[in-house]
Structure 1
Amino acid sequence: MKARSETRRPSFFWFLAVLVLPILNLAVKFRFHHPERMPQTGAFVLAPNHYSEIDPLVMGAVSWKLGRAPRFMAKASLFKNPILGWMLRTSGQIPVERAGSKSHAALRAAEDLVEKGRMVVVYPEGSLTRDPDLWPMRGKTGAMRIALERGIPIVPAAHWGTQELMGRYGKKLSLFPRKTIDVIIGEPLDLSAYREGPIDQATLLKATAELMDAIAALLAELRGEAAPAERWDPAKHGQKETGRLDG
């Protein structure tokens, strides 16, 4: 596969790009940091931070601009929006239910994408961060499970500025004046230590904690400030989590 062949090959993504990108480009200026780290071939998991309902649209545009057709594991509530939901379903995105058999079905669907050499975007937090300062919170194990069980890379990423386009829990877009969104792509996480033994819950939790630290470090680089030493844990703050991907 040649570099950027995914964006050059005719697909429904062309329609989405023509429909979405002109409007988004009017509202947003993207500043990319280390875009060369985005794998141009093969399957991998892209694991970004998550603090706005508009994140999937932003990261979808980012992936396309960097040469890959984006497929997502996104919380099912996003699919209830008539327009966004139609675009997500038609382009092969994967709705993630809160728990149960449908959640496992989503994991199997993501694995199918992996087998076809496609990227899959998974928000390891499972829902919008509860951290009051929008830092990444404690992660779920779904993203790491896919990477370890399928033997593919996992690439952390972070973006900052999306909250100006749509705030956390916001429902309305603020298109003007034009916003700047910084995006940084990290190096693939070194998973060699986790591939030697069984992929049990303890391994997944430890690897996921390392992933969330990597995402927080990338976000700290964009924000120009130090990330909290520990990830926000909703359970410790009496908060109920929604939109779970995996335990």
Structure 2
Amino acid sequence: MTEFVYPPVITAAKTLFRVLGMRFHVEGAERIPQTGGVVLVSNHISYLDFIFAGLAANPSGRLVRFMAKKEVFDHRISGPLMRGMHHIPVDREAGAASYRAALNALKGGEVIGVFAEATISQSFTVKDIKNGAARMAAAAGVPMVPIALWGTQRMWTKNRPKRLFQRKIPITILVGEPMYPKRGDDFNKINEELRAQMSELVDRAQREYPDTPAENEKWWLPAHLGGTAPTPEEAAELDRKELEERAARHAAREAERAKGEPAA
């Protein structure tokens, strides 16, 4: 696969990180295989997580193809970049095609990045895990590697203003032990094990994080650590309301579309 876009984007991102004086702590990157298909499963706390989760594979010389919502590919700026880097669009209403595309990429030796919580965790804890990542890894016969990110939420997260150029933000990237799902496994059990490992990684990243928020900055700290982020229960309610609003918008669009169709 010809790579005209991805390498220059990585170079530009690293240059920007140096200009901003960002501090990275990356641990366990050697656990990502240098060859063959791999499913990377990251927690999701920021709109920029695909950038930083991708950095975890950089020491192994791998380029990660992330599964991202279709709307990102429809954007006039991000769309051409996402397509140029051969990421995989996910249409929530027609997910089978994106699953097949990811599975074919895995069988072709690619690294696929997945945010198995599906949406950003507003509580900054690990939400319930969807089983698509484990099923893909099992179907392709490849390892599944968990990743924990911390600090990325300070740059741009849900319901907070962007701080893309804030200087000297520490970013923690922890890579966990590979898992090897097989066809016929109990995927509910595998998801429990994956969530447990990801939660342990995220907890450690939070405990060891070098910055402490000022009183008016505690929004980026989870409630159980004294922050003002929503509790997991409050975040779940916010997610529920968002889903209802999205469904209502979709229904309204479908109704408008039906009005414009000729009668049978």
Using the size of structure 1 for normalisation, the TM-score is 0.79
Among candidates 72, 83, 104, match of residue 78 of structure 1: 72
What aligned pairs does 1:1-247 form with structure 2 within 5 A after superposition?
11-27=4-20, 28-99=22-93, 102-130=94-122, 132=123, 134-170=124-160, 172-191=162-181, 195=182, 198=184, 203-224=186-207, 232=232, 237=237, 239-240=239-240
d(CA) in 1 for partners of 2:146, 2:17: 23
1:25 to partner: Cα distance: 3.3
1:235 to partner: Cα distance: 10
> Residues 181-232 of structure 1, C-alpha deviation per residue, up to 9 Å, x if partnerless?
01010110253xxx3x636xxx22221122111111111111128998xx95
1:142 to partner: Cα distance: 1.0
Contact (CA 8 Å) 2:117, 2:126: kept in 1 or not? yes
d(CA) in 1 for partners of 2:139, 2:153: 33
- The change in CA–CA distance for 1:116 and 1:234 in structure 2 (over 3 A counts) is farther
d(CA) in 1 for partners of 2:223, 2:195: 11
d(CA) in 1 for partners of 2:47, 2:238: 23
Counterpart of 2:13 in structure 1: which amino acid? V
Contact (CA 8 Å) 2:6, 2:84: kept in 1 or not? no
Counterpart of 1:42 in structure 2: which amino acid? G
- Structure 1 unpaired stretches of 5+: 1-5
> Residues 120-149 of structure 1, C-alpha deviation per residue, up to 9 Å, x if partnerless?
00111111114x2x0110011111110111
Counterpart of 1:83 in structure 2: which amino acid? I
Counterpart of 2:135 in structure 1: which amino acid? R
Counterpart of 2:16 in structure 1: which amino acid? I
1:50 to partner: Cα distance: 0.2
d(CA) in 1 for partners of 2:164, 2:25: 19
What secondary structure is seen at the aligned counterpart in 2 of 1:129?
Answer: coil
Q: Which has the higher contact order (CA 8 A, sep 6+)?
A: 1
d(CA) in 1 for partners of 2:160, 2:118: 18
Contact (CA 8 Å) 1:216, 1:227: kept in 2 or not? no
d(CA) in 2 for partners of 1:151, 1:238: 37
> Residues 69-123 of structure 1, C-alpha deviation per residue, up to 9 Å, x if partnerless?
1101112233243322221111110111223xx3110000001111211110011
What secondary structure is seen at the aligned counterpart in 2 of 1:47?
Answer: strand
The count of aligned residue pairs is 223
- The change in CA–CA distance for 1:146 and 1:218 in structure 2 (over 3 A counts) is same
Once the two structures are overlaid, the 10-residue window that deviates more, 31-40 or 14-23, is 14-23
**Greater helix percent: which structure?**
2
d(CA) in 1 for partners of 2:62, 2:43: 18
d(CA) in 2 for partners of 1:36, 1:147: 19
What secondary structure is seen at the aligned counterpart in 2 of 1:79?
Answer: helix
1:176 to partner: Cα distance: 2.5
